[in-house]
């Protein structure tokens, strides 16, 4: 059974960085792209970027280009998303999501459970 399990909730101060993990299981890690999406409280979904677990190539939304980094560890089948220079508007639930196919830009068939990040002084 396919699972994406994310790291736990975090509280950070403005200016800090956050690194969230997304541990995958139940499928061949390198065959499916992973995206990151966030959702501010009571708001809609916002796409942040994509990583190819096979070679590690990435693509980021322009809004996050300067402060997001997505990486992967093939030995543990885990994806990481690091966001720096946090501000209060970064308070949100962050999701990793797997693409349901061998292309990067396909719908997301499996989602992690979400990681709540609160940015507060």
Partner 1 sequence: EIVLTQSPGTLSLSPGERATLSCRASQSVTSNYLAWYQQKPGQAPRLLIYDTSSRATGIPDRFSGSGSGTDFTLTIRRLEPEDFAVYFCQQYGGSPLTFGGGTKVEIK
Which of 82, 79, 116, 84 is closest to 99 using CA atoms?
A: 79
Closer residue to partner 1 in complex, CB, 10/46: 46
Residue 105 interacts with partner 1 (CB under 8 A)?
yes
Residue 100 interacts with partner 1 (CB under 8 A)?
yes
N residues, the chain? 121
Q: Which of 41, 44, 75, 121 binds partner 1 (CB under 8 A)?
A: 44
33, 26 in Cβ contact below 8 A? Answer: no
Neighbouring-strand partners of residue 25: 3
CB of 75 to partner 1, least distance (A): 26
Residue 108 interacts with partner 1 (CB under 8 A)?
yes
Q: Checking DSSP bridges between strand 34-39 and strand 92-99, what pairing results, if any?
A: antiparallel
Residue 27 interacts with partner 1 (CB under 8 A)?
no
CB of 38 to partner 1, least distance (A): 11
Residue 47 interacts with partner 1 (CB under 8 A)?
yes
Choose the binding region for partner 1 from 11-19, 25-33, 45-53, 76-84 (rule: CB under 8 A).
45-53
Rounded Cα–Cα distance for residues 107 and 98 (Å): 8
Rounded Cα–Cα distance for residues 39 and 60 (Å): 16
């Amino acid at each position: 059974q396919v699972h994406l399990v994310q790291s736990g909730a975090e509280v950070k101060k403005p200016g800090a960085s956050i690194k969230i993990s997304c541990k995958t299981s139940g499928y061949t890690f390198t065959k499916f792209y992973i995206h990151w999406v966030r959702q501010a409280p009571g708001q809609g979904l916002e796409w942040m970027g994509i990583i190819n677990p096979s070679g590690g190539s990435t693509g980021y939304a322009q809004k996050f280009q300067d402060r997001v980094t997505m990486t992967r560890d093939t030995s543990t089948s885990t994806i990481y998303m690091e966001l720096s220079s946090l501000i209060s508007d970064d308070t949100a639930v962050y999701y990793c999501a797997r693409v349901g196919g061998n292309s990067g830009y396909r719908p997301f068939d499996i989602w992690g459970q979400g990681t709540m990040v609160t940015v507060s002084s």
